[in-house]
Amino acid sequence: MNAKSLLAIAAIAAAFSATAQAGEADYASNLPQFQGQRDRAEVRADGVWAAQNRNPEPAGSRVAAPLKSNVTAQAVRADAAQAVRLGQIAHGEAAI
């Protein structure tokens, strides 16, 4: 009885597996067909033009021009040192 059941299950499994197998997939039929309107020389000329006229500055990266100042760096350092001495500016780890 057990052998008959196993044989029946094997026969059913073989029948279903034979119908479940698929053939080779043909992906070319699923791709859209495209026909360009320009020839190779036009596309190449556009690429050359784009490379020659490329803007190296990324969009939105404009930086403001440096401000002109009448104060020298030495005067700024002296003012900062005096402010530290007077306790107007924290220094070292006390600034944390």
Written as six digits, the tokens of 23 are: 């053939």
Distance CA 78, CA 53 (A): 48
Residue 87 has pLDDT above 60, yes or no: yes
The average pLDDT across 63-89 equals 90
Band (20; pLDDT cuts 50, 70, 90): low
Which one, of 78, 95, 77, 75, lies nearest residue 87 by Cα?
95
Band (18; pLDDT cuts 50, 70, 90): low
Burial of 66 (0-12, 13-18, 19+ CB in 10 A): exposed
Distance CA 36, CA 19 (A): 42
End-to-end CA distance of the chain: 86
According to the model, what pLDDT value does residue 72 have? 93
Indicate yes or no: pTM above 0.75: no
Residue 26 has pLDDT above 80, yes or no: no
Distance CA 49, CA 31 (A): 31
Residue 86 has pLDDT above 80, yes or no: yes
Written as six digits, the tokens of 31 are: 């791709």
According to the model, what pLDDT value does residue 83 have? 93
